[in-house]
Structure 1
């Protein structure tokens, strides 16, 4: 007797639902709601749930053990051609949640426009990182975001009277953010969080997927911004050990290369179980075989250690430390 789940009409309905639901989620959630819900833009990511943006350490360890059991060869990615914000841009926004006073200071740099868009501008300007083309990138992104939100202006019927003041505010904010040296401390915390995220991706169960160009700092917004040409020349120079790019670029590149080398040299270790280790508040620690990952989860530096270092190569302040033996 034919099973209920294999009846022709059941199969046809299931296929039609699968064809519909992916597109519905993409357009309703990712391409509409994600531009309307603005409290923490780093949580508005493809595949994520903005109302659950964080986990406790215990819950994270449980998820890693489940992933090792259920998806040991699943891809682990932090950026793609379709992410709303690239990995290091998201960590800049996450850093704002660690420092409410600085978040208020950033908001004060943005002219008075409708509240959701004012806060959207502040987060996006800091996420995109100071650069010569920040104003141009930010304005293009804000225009897309407002029209994708489909509340006050639309692709099919742009409302210039609404868009104009918001885009002017974005231009002013871009200049203010580029000129404000007070942001350096917050940017350093964001860089530390980004290094912790990079280490987790490369250490956790699964196969790390590295989107082109993210071996170094990547502070891109929604497409087409995140599809800009990759600076292959700088990457090649870093691979040769030349001191190009920012200090963060060099640290991230070295961390990525070092962990990939560890995975290549010790495949059995990285196929083994995820072993939670005790860690103080504001830190996370886990082992895979004889290799231990130490992370700061608050953007601070870790305490010094006398354990054998695998990364970084020299003792000193760092938000990420890998110890042990292969």
Structure 2
């Protein structure tokens, strides 16, 4: 590639700027041909006198189509709407892809976990349609559309086909929510029959599925579910391999893609230099693979494979941050990865 590829970088707030800085340091050291365009969102944007989700930030992602985003604080029970939800809706990022795998050097009660959660990202209970219909009575509207359920089903089957995965399992609660989750299942069946008849899939009621997931996660390959279920199950699955600090996340639409650490902004440790940048770095690797797929540029894939091998080796060598039982600072962990780059 003769020039660098522009990507929008949204550091976020709390520990966001620290883990973002460390991540970009590793990306640069690996030779990823990237040009960073920094934009703000969340509390960082508010502190600059802007809106929590500045239009300039949204427009920049629309222009360049790819963003890497650090964590942003979301108030609980009050205040502004989640920055993540706003960004997904404004950019029509309808598919959240979250790989979850065991890492050498991060011991848990399970081994050989290697699953992917595909979550519908714009509908369901997270549509944000809530009303106080009478004093002390609040309703939340769960939204499911034919278009929304069909496109996420298609994306899940495409993921299996393109990544040489083996099997899709659909989590649902259609025995109770017969219309909304029923539509979800009908859409999966329709897309499977019309476009992917050779790919195997099955369905499971989500409560039973969660029980089986924590009994033996190695029984699952790719899991598909609606928005709220996907949020809960992806965090649950992260707990099987060491927590949110060791899993990446991506939000994909037809035109734009945002890659992000799925953990919180951890304001209690912000500025201390001890945050683990691995989740955002892993998301950066997902971003590089996405760029390789969309541009055909081999250097993105080479950098992604180099970084992945380096952080795997770093963890295997017991070089870790405090949350994983080690003693390295944010920058020291990044430097340890850089030393192991090919």
Q: TM-score range by the shorter chain?
A: under 0.3
More relative contact order, 1 or 2 (CA 8 Å, 6+ apart)? 2
By percentage of residues, which structure has more helix?
A: 1
Calculate the TM-score normalised by the size of structure 2: 0.24
